[in-house]
Structures are given as structure tokens and as C-alpha cells.
Structure 1
């Protein structure tokens, strides 16, 4: 069943209204007809099965059939902090990590970030990222759209470390800890009836400097490796997130 995220104000007591691109998608792409059913969500805790009543190019009306219990969200909220990579790699990170189960994204600038940050283009790029996250969340039957934060510098990123129960910096070093070394005792001590927050920090194409690693560890982050193979910047976050959600039972783990 096709899923759509809509603003909470478009939820009525018994009906929902779908507008814009989603309305066109229902009518022209999916070629839906009245009485077909869809799932609608406000991305913040309200989700329902709705039956299409009327379909116009710019507006679709649907009647709520039943409200659903939320089931598509991991109980461990994982934020992916990604140093801005070249080209469209950030779009790939957002799309795939949203599908896997990331709760939020924080783009950041570090010493070896190659991308030239242009604040004038930021809103256009941010809108593109939000659209990718929304579509990926719909495709993956998520109940929430991940939070897309504005880019920050390295110092501001580290200042947020106390907001998380665990921060892992993806960094390979000789005889260093591996992700599972850190995850196993952390997960074992969690109460699954509560919410916890974790942040995975991924460096740019050139990696982190040793000074940045020292600063991150001083801020409370744990430096972890992701195995014996060196991963690309756009791959590391996906691999780490998959391992984390597996270990917490979200992918058939514990």
C-alpha cells in the first residue's frame, strides 16, 4: 500500500487532504481510483489507512478508515553526522540511511572537507535533501521523516556530543576498538522500553586529522573501526547504521 507524508493540519477527524506533488503522484503516476486505499502519516506520530474519495490534479480527498499503531521506527535513535562529501554523495547517504532507519542527519565541515560550502545555495540544497528523505521514508514505510539539520562546523558538532548516549567516530587506527567492541556492552545495558540516542560521525574523503580525533575523544566520542576493509565516505555511515540496528534487534539481531 502506497504511503504519503502530509502536514498534520491536513489531517481532519475523519478525512485527509493531499496536495501538490503527492496529489499528482496519486493521480498520474499511480493512476489510483476512488476507493483505492493508501497510508498517510504526519511524520510525527499520526498514521492512518485512508480510502480515496476524489482525485484532482492538485488535491486528493480521502476518508480515514483506521488509525495505525506506529511500527516502522527503531527504538534506538541514530543520527548520522556526515562530513560534506563531493558531488551527489550526500544524497546517497540520506536516501540509503533513511531506508535503513536513521533518525536524523547532521552535515558538517571538517579539516579535510573538499566541498566549498556556499550559504547562498544552502536552502535549495536543504530542500532537495528533505525531499529525498521524505521519499525514502515513504518507500521504506517509515513512520517518521528523519530530521535534516543545517550544516555545522566541527566545533559545533562536538558541542552536541553530550546530547547523545553514545557517539562513535568512524576512524581506523592500529589496534583500535571496533564498532562491535563498543556496541556490545552499550546495547546490553539499555532498557528497550526507553528511547536512547546515538550519533555516528563519518569523515570526508580524506578522513579525519589526528587532531580532530583527539578533539572528538576529548568530547566523549569513541573512535571505532568498521572492519579490515577501508570504506568510502558514502558507504561508512550505511555500514555502521546497519550493524547498529542489527545489534539492537531491528534487523533480526538480538
Structure 2
């Protein structure tokens, strides 16, 4: 016999953290999804960046997207998260730039002069974080994001791989937003 002693509902975190993750070669994409899920990302947008070597097209794209969805679900279970991150279909740079005007956006970039630790953050709503693929964000992509209202930020002096940059940024943001 099963007895339920307590039922509760956990609200989604506010602000929601969405990461546009540049498609990466090999297992780096899945590694990024797994680790970002474990540290608290809310939405992961697969981004077909200009420097993404991997292309999600046809059956390969369907399988790759399904792998990211599965990886997020399994990592959420392992981390005992109440919410599994959403993993919508991949976005283009143009579609991603259009989202920038809808929510505050930070673009991780090694040449940024503003630090992630000092940039103003929203108190509620959402926050979009752009993480480039191996090779980084192109000058043209950065210009498009900045023109749409994004703020380029840096994590530190070191340049991290695409599979770890998002994790480090979400960790710092989680502390600053009071999630941790």
C-alpha cells in the first residue's frame, strides 16, 4: 500500500536562464547540455552559429536534437531537479538576434570589456546567454547581437571551451541571482 504524506509544487526559477549554445563537434555539445542542466539552466537553444562545424540537417539533425533532449532529461533526473530544461529546435543567428530584443542578453566574448560579475542583471523575467561554438562568435554575429541590444561580457582572462563556458557562466549567474 502506498501512502502520500506530502505534495508540493516547486515554482520555476525567476528569472529564467536561457542559453543559446553553439553547436559543437563530437560529444562537446552533449557535455555542455549535461553540465548546464546540472547547474540550473532553464532553456537550451541549439544555435547553428557561423563557426559551428557540425550541421543539424535531415535525419542527423533530428537525432542530434533528440540526443540533447534526452541528455537534458537524464541530467535533470541525476541532479534531482524539479524542472527539466526545455530544448527547442535549433535557431539561426538571425532568429537568435530577434530574441535579443525580447529579453536581456549577454554574449560571452573573449574581447568584451565588461565582466559577467559586474553586469546588471534582471530581477525577474528572463535572461539570455549566448555561448559560441569552438572558434567563438564571429564579429558579424556579435555585431548583430549588439545591434539588437545584447551586452558582450567576459568570464575572466582565460578562454574556455564551448562545453565549459556556459557552465561557468550559469554558475556565476546562479550565485548573483540568489539561486545558489
CA distance, structure 2, for counterparts of residue 227 and residue 130 of structure 1: 30
Following superposition of structure 1 onto structure 2, how do residues 193-232 of structure 1 map, counting pairs within 5 Å? Answer: 195-232=124-161
Q: Which has the higher contact order (CA 8 A, sep 6+)?
A: 2
Could you tell me which of 174, 181, 185 is aligned with 2:118? 181
In the alignment, what sits opposite 1:74? 13
Let me know the Cα RMSD of the aligned residues.
Answer: 1.7
2:37 aligned with 1:113: no
Q: Which runs of 4+ in 1 moved over 6 A?
A: none
CA distance, structure 2, for counterparts of residue 110 and residue 249 of structure 1: 31
- 1:159-196 Cα deviation digits (max 9, x unpaired): 111221x100000216x1111221xx335xx2xxxx42
In the alignment, what sits opposite 2:78? 139
Secondary structure at the counterpart of residue 101 of structure 2:
helix
TM-score (norm. length: structure 2): 0.92
Compare CA radii of gyration and give the structure with the larger one: 1
Could you tell me which of 123, 141, 156 is aligned with 2:95? 156
Pairwise CA distance, 1:122: 2.3
CA, structure 1 residues 161+69, in 2 after alignment: closer, same or farther (shift >3 Å)?
Answer: same
Q: Which moved more, 1:146-155 or 1:125-134?
A: 125-134
From the two aligned structures, give the one with the greater strand fraction: 1
Count of matched residue pairs = 180
Query: Is there any run of 5+ residues in structure 1 with no aligned partner, and where?
Result: 1-34, 36-50, 52-62
CA distance, structure 2, for counterparts of residue 113 and residue 131 of structure 1: 21
